[in-house]
Structure 1
Amino acid sequence: MTALRKYQRLECGGLWRETPQDQRREVLVRFGDATLVLSDPKSGAAVSHWSLPAIERVNKGQEPAIFAPGTDAHESLELDDPDMIAALGTVHQAVQAATAKPGRLRGVLLAGSAAAVVLAAVLWLPGALVSHTASVVPPAQRADIGQRALDDLIRVTGEPCKDQLGLQALAALSERVFGPVDTPILYVMPEGVEQPLHLPGDVIILPRKLIEQANGPEAAAGAALVERLRMKAEDPIVPLLQYAGLRATFELLTTASLPDTALNGYGEAMLRATPVALPDAALLAAFEAAQIPATPYALAIDPDGKATADLATNDPYKGLAPSPLIPDDSWVALQGICGG
């Protein structure tokens, strides 16, 4: 969340529970760009990633402060560091302001820009309205809209796979691919997802088969890497607004609120959508920079090797023994993320 960059290097200790029945466990808490990263203080391995906009304090006015990664979450985090508590409070206020209580100044700015954009949209193309609206939606609201799109997708696929050891391994894989600061939230869906997807709010969705049918984490890591590139190539909120329509887009621009029904059916639309094509040169550069072999990903998404032949042929790590992306026991746990 770009408005909160002053907190990016903030770290503190905390006490984490996987479930209410578990013992509290010491963790290192690190404030990232869009996530809160919880890691083992001895090994440094990530044990959980929380989406910053979804975090809620569950004991307002009481000490020590206790947070959860969502309304229905089983995990909890106990904090007594005032700077970290203040940072999470700032995030919550930003989410509330962007999604439920748009400020007067923001309303004036939105209304003023809306008039100009509506005129442009009438005179030029509907795409002008979508493009401008996408450019002014703040990060907190993007995350909220992305969550709504995820909720619609869940109607089709079922809830994301939730095995706790698998989630820890998935968080560790995300951190290995993207680094500890700019780390997206990864989900694995139990059914219905045949190709990787992404959503506003830095959310990447992986097909179950990329994990359960693979010999290692490289294919899933490559899929996440490529989806992040697609996310940068085309703002993920643009196709979402195109689906929602001009009336819903105009309402978002003028009231900072997307109608409740605007995303009905968007989950099915995402599953049918054709992925944005990316140049092989850009893909290979990203794989090389992340030190991930490209061949496992290329073969996983195109077993015949026709569409991804150049990617596999020019793999910068072809023929080399790759360093493990995550430990073997983490890979085993990740393969069981959907419960076997």
Structure 2
Amino acid sequence: MTALHEYERLECTGLWRDGPEGQRREVIVSFGDATLVIAETKSGRALTHWSLPAIVRLAGSSLPARFAPAPDADEELEIDDEAMVAAIAKVHRLIEARRPHPGRLRSILLGAGLAAVLGALVFWMPGALVRHTAASLPFNKRQEIGRMALADLTRLTGIPCAAAEGQEALARLHGRLLGPETGGEIFVVPEGVDRSVALPGGIVVLSRSLVEAPDTPEVAAGEVLAADLGVAEADPLVALLGNAGLRATLTLLTTGDLPQRAVAGFGEVALQQPAPALPDKALLDRFASAGVRSSPYAWSRDPSGESVLPLIEADPFRDRTPERPVLDDTDWVALQGICGG
């Protein structure tokens, strides 16, 4: 049924004519099953039935309202009853809502596609731009940005320890573990760092406690190796640029320069960011290739040994001595005193 149940008994009077030259007659207008019934006022005899879906309202929105059974029909009906006019309009709205709208699905799909594109621009593009920028920078620029990050970090850790003999020992430790051709530097800071922090440009920052408390340089060496390995899992330059923001990243990408203010506050991020979880196999391979025992590092990480058992039991030098010591005794003593002179 097209007509609504609430209008099944709705009636009113109206003026109807059967053609342009016909005389207007007073009629009774009522809702039928799917039609508007126009009947004589005295006899009640139906004069015509108009299909509700086909009825059109002629020009004008004021009362009395004029209707026709079709756009090109000769008949015309004039109604001044507001309830009947509203009922016809409501039926038309219901019919329009139920009618298929081929373009509506296209619009919905287009809107969804645009929303997806905008979502990609908002959520994916900044991260992609940061990763692209980080991957495209040469090492010397990464090292320059790493130095800027170190300067910001020293607000929280203090100036890196700088005893001359200790710095020479650090340089030899870096060459021993990472190779002189790789670039980068190792720094020891007096406070604020629990273990180690990796910064862009191959810069590794070590806690003072790592060189003063252990009996062997292998603990500090293990932290350097783990920090260097972790860079492959979580590039610190990506974290720095993500903190700096899209505008600073675009400036770096287009001009090759990163303003110092863009690095402000990264020290807190670097200290609070947890170190990436490294697979035991990758760590053991790294220790083996560097010629460093893994068990001293493991015991320093967890004195109970429970969480680092593979690094202890599978120590590549558990039953043999590395070909070269991490540092000789003189350098080790110098490194232990780097913050005291």
Common fold: TM-score over 0.5: yes
Q: CA shift at 1:223, angstroms?
A: 0.9
Give the TM-score of the pair, scaled to structure 2. 0.61
1:286 corresponds in structure 2 to 286
Say if 2:339 is the partner of 1:338: yes
Worse-matched range after superposition: 288-297 or 230-239? 230-239
Say if 2:195 is the partner of 1:195: yes
Q: CA shift at 1:254, angstroms?
A: 2.6
1:328 corresponds in structure 2 to 329
Contact 1:121/1:127, CA 8 A, preserved across alignment: no
The AA in structure 2 aligned to 1:178 is L
Q: CA shift at 1:324, angstroms?
A: 2.6
Contact 2:143/2:184, CA 8 A, preserved across alignment: no
For residue 211 of structure 2, give the secondary structure of its aligned residue in structure 1: helix
Equivalenced residues, count: 223
Q: CA shift at 1:133, angstroms?
A: 1.5
CA distance in 2, matches of 1:160, 1:259: 23
Q: CA shift at 1:321, angstroms?
A: 4.4
Q: CA shift at 1:312, angstroms?
A: 1.3
The AA in structure 2 aligned to 1:278 is L
CA distance in 2, matches of 1:129, 1:174: 32
2:312 corresponds in structure 1 to 312
1:59-208 alignment to 2 at 5 Å? 121-122=121-122, 124-208=124-208
CA distance in 1, matches of 2:337, 2:331: 10
Runs of 4+ displaced beyond 6 Å = none
Q: 1:126 to 1:171 in 2, by over 3 A?
A: same
The AA in structure 1 aligned to 2:340 is G
The AA in structure 1 aligned to 2:136 is V
Which structure has the larger Rg over C-alpha atoms?
2
Contact 1:222/1:297, CA 8 A, preserved across alignment: yes
For residue 128 of structure 1, give the secondary structure of its aligned residue in structure 2: helix
> What is the CA deviation profile of residues 193-232 of structure 1, one whole-angstrom value per residue up to 9, with x for unaligned ones?
1021111111111111111110111111111111111122
CA distance in 2, matches of 1:126, 1:181: 33
1:30-49 alignment to 2 at 5 Å? none
Higher relative contact order (CA 8 A, sep 6+): 1
The alignment's C-alpha RMSD in Å is: 2.1
Worse-matched range after superposition: 150-159 or 126-135? 126-135
Contact 1:280/1:311, CA 8 A, preserved across alignment: yes
Q: CA shift at 1:320, angstroms?
A: 3.6
Contact 1:295/1:315, CA 8 A, preserved across alignment: yes
Extract unaligned runs of 5+ from structure 1. 1-117
CA distance in 2, matches of 1:197, 1:140: 19
Aligned sequence identity (%): 47
Q: 1:124 to 1:170 in 2, by over 3 A?
A: closer
The AA in structure 2 aligned to 1:338 is C
For residue 197 of structure 1, give the secondary structure of its aligned residue in structure 2: strand
> What is the CA deviation profile of residues 152-173 of structure 1, one whole-angstrom value per residue up to 9, with x for unaligned ones?
0011111111111111111112
CA distance in 2, matches of 1:303, 1:271: 23
CA distance in 2, matches of 1:123, 1:161: 41
Q: 1:258 to 1:214 in 2, by over 3 A?
A: same
Q: CA shift at 1:126, angstroms?
A: 2.4
Q: CA shift at 1:270, angstroms?
A: 0.8
For residue 204 of structure 1, give the secondary structure of its aligned residue in structure 2: strand
CA distance in 2, matches of 1:123, 1:208: 40
The AA in structure 1 aligned to 2:333 is V
Q: CA shift at 1:141, angstroms?
A: 1.9
For residue 206 of structure 1, give the secondary structure of its aligned residue in structure 2: strand
Q: 1:256 to 1:120 in 2, by over 3 A?
A: farther
1:3 corresponds in structure 2 to none
Q: 1:119 to 1:253 in 2, by over 3 A?
A: farther
> What is the CA deviation profile of residues 288-333 of structure 1, one whole-angstrom value per residue up to 9, with x for unaligned ones?
1111000111111222323322211211112444553221121111
For residue 198 of structure 2, give the secondary structure of its aligned residue in structure 1: strand
For residue 258 of structure 1, give the secondary structure of its aligned residue in structure 2: coil
> What is the CA deviation profile of residues 52-97 of structure 1, one whole-angstrom value per residue up to 9, with x for unaligned ones?
xxxxxxxxxxxxxxxxxxxxxxxxxxxxxxxxxxxxxxxxxxxxxx
CA distance in 2, matches of 1:188, 1:339: 12
> What is the CA deviation profile of residues 119-170 of structure 1, one whole-angstrom value per residue up to 9, with x for unaligned ones?
9744844211111111222322212111110000011111111111111111
For residue 187 of structure 2, give the secondary structure of its aligned residue in structure 1: strand
